[in-house]
Chains A and B, each alone.
Chain A
Amino acid sequence: MSTPSPAAGQLARFAVSPARRRRDRIARATILAGTIIALIPLALILYYLLRKGIGSWSPSFFSTDPTGATFFKSQSIGGIKSAILGTTEMVGLASAIAIPVGIGTAVWLVEYGRDSWFAHTVRFFVDVLTGVPSIVFGLFIYIVLIVGTGSSYAAYKGSFALALLMLPVVIRSAEVILLLVPGALRESALALGAPRWRVILHIVLPTALPGMVTGVLLAIARAAGETAPLLFTAGETLKTGFDLGQFMNALPVQIYYDVTSPTTAVVNRAWGAALALVTMILVLNLIARLVSRRNRLA
């Protein structure tokens, strides 16, 4: 090795050759281009949703049921009232099932199961559930609640399918948050003589609650947008209903059937409904994000 002397000629020996510099620049440009390409679909989707969807919004769009009329221009095709109410009801029932079961399972995993083989098996199967296509959940519920009982479609069966879909999201997100609850908190409660169940109900769960809200909201947002599990469980209807034992309409299902229509007005209703659905889901996502930002644990 020559003696290090920071003369200009010496430094040039270590300068990056033009070929390497060019390669670096090309790679950087490609990476930047890839990032921009990734953002294009979102921009286009939101732009078209707004442009096409806002036109079909009107007070009556939200306050009337779809009529099923397609052919005659004179007939009103109606709005999306039954779809919005149906989605709200079915997702509500699905949440009422999935949230307690999911959080209960997560508590078991963190507080009791921990590193046992059984806990690992449960975690594995929950991960498996995450990857199961949503239409397969619909088939599961169809086999058990429709073939199994010999009855017809019903809204609560759709809710069960959605609950299955939400379950892994709730369990995994709640588990992550529960693991963040400091062990010292549990230990001090136990040291003061509190029994285990009190520690869990009065110390661990309240501490973790704000963090778990985020996961729950994301699960609800996911369920609200799902079409496939509802197709053969909740049935197809246009009417507003409040009986969970009957057929029920839902926003994504309504959009799915409207897409295939040859009538422009019906397709426009699909755009309007899609805008309503996306707005609903984005608001849920936004709230989830705000809640997680204010959370002490995460």
Chain B
Amino acid sequence: METASTSSGDRSILARSPLARLPDRALKYGLTALAALILALIVYFFIRLVGEARPAFAKEGVLGFAFNNDWNVNAERFGALPMVVGTLITSGLALLIGVPVAVATALYTTEFSPLRVRTPLTVLVELLAAVPSVVYGLWGIFFLAPKLRGTEQWVADRLSLVPFIGGGTVTIPNYFIAGLILATMILPIVSAISREVMATVPSDQKEAALSLGATRWEMIRTAVLPYCRTGIVGGAMLGLGRAIGETIAVTIVIGNAPQLSGHLFGQGYSLAAVIANEFGEAQGLHRSALFAAGLVLFVLTLLVNGVARVLVRRASRGGPAKPIPVRAAAGPQAVAGATAGA
């Protein structure tokens, strides 16, 4: 190579003029500004929400707002305990019912289902996520709640001595129906995350378990579930976040009564439902209290989702497969045992 053209002082013939580099800069800084704008927007929203909620918190105190069982709009008393409890009961129920079903579905699709059924099954479960929440509400109040009422009353009568479940009269809208609807709504996300995590289980480990003579279920219990535990918990927490924030379906089926129902089959309220139901007519302190409910909801879902993201990320990264110590003496008998067991 001759040294003539590329001496350090000269600008290379290949370099672009400053004008030609302008669009590059514009795009880069424009896009950066866009990303920064989204951040700024979220922070701004949060600050404004705190500002709007302040009068209610100032009157009731933050703890008073969350733990006073006294929501009376006319008397300007805003203790949101009935809503907080309603949110916790319904989303707790949703987890209790939804997570086992979701995990079972995920296990079936990853471990048992014939290959031909796998995709249709996944699509069908995901379709549940496509149904709008107002349709869940409509279906819940006009089909599910009336159909289940007899059964609920039967259970409530049989378990009349059990606190929180038995005893009272079953109303058509109630906590249990809301929990059941929420369970259906969180099913797709919990099952999708579980399925993803189960797909990361190294097949070496599953095969190792089977070759040691484990039955399918023992293989799942010893190789699949321990490996996926973090991910499933993360998926369940994502579902919990959804359940806590779900508004319209719950508003329709929970009854919107600002009181603590002593039992599972009574009417109640939830944080999201009280906003949807009362915000339209709310003025002054009442409105501020509803903003406060929104703030509590926002912070609660933020925490739950933050933890869930960390867990899911840790689980789906998978980490290096830990080798299972296999005793060298196992030999051909174990293989024979596995074939007998399969």
Binding site for B on A (CB under 8 A): 1, 4, 6, 10-11, 14-16, 20-21, 23-24, 27-28, 30-35, 37-39, 41-42, 44-45, 48-49, 101, 104-105, 107-109, 111-113, 118-119, 121-122, 125-136, 139-140, 143-144, 147-148, 167, 193, 195-197, 200, 221, 224-228, 231-232, 252, 255-256, 259-260, 267, 270-271, 274, 277-278, 281-282, 285, 289
Contact = CB atoms under 8 A, between A and B. Distances in A.
Contacts of A225: 130-135
Contacts of A41: 128, 184, 187
A126 B37 CA distance: 12
Interface stretch (B44-52, B76-84, B150-158, B196-204): B44-52
Contact of B112 (A28, A118, A121): A28
Nearest to B26: A197
B4 interface: no
Contacts of B128: 38, 41-42
B272 A133 contact: yes
Nearest to A25: B217
Contacts of B215: 16, 20-21, 23-24
Contact of A105 (B31, B247, B272, B334): B31
B137 interface: yes
26 contacts: A11-B336, A15-B337, A16-B340, A20-B218, A27-B220, A30-B104, A34-B103, A39-B124, A42-B124, A45-B135, A45-B139, A107-B31, A121-B39, A128-B42, A131-B304, A131-B308, A133-B244, A133-B247, A135-B294, A136-B301, A196-B28, A197-B27, A227-B133, A228-B272, A259-B134, A281-B131
A114 to B, nearest CB: 12
- Residue in A45, A118, A134, A282 with the greatest tally of chain B CB atoms within 10 Å: A45
B241 interface: yes
B45 A144 contact: yes
Contacts, number: 262
Contact of A271 (B20, B138, B333): B138
Contacts of A130: 305
Contacts of B242: 131
Contact of A6 (B45, B218, B336): B336
Contacts of A232: 279-280
A270 B44 CA distance: 37
Interface residues of B, number: 94
B340 A14 contact: yes
Given A24-B216, A122-B38, A34 B105 contact: yes
Nearest to A35: B108
Interface in B319-342: 329, 331-334, 336-337, 340-341
Contact of B331 (A4, A39, A197): A4
Contacts of B116: none
B226 interface: no
A104 B291 CA distance: 32
Contacts of B121: 35
A112 B341 contact: no
Given A39-B124, A105-B34, A270-B138, A259 B252 contact: yes
B192 to A, nearest CB: 12
Contact of B302 (A4, A118, A128): A128
A108 B32 CA distance: 6
A44 B181 CA distance: 13
A72 to B, nearest CB: 23
Contact of B247 (A14, A197, A228, A271): A228
A267 B142 contact: yes
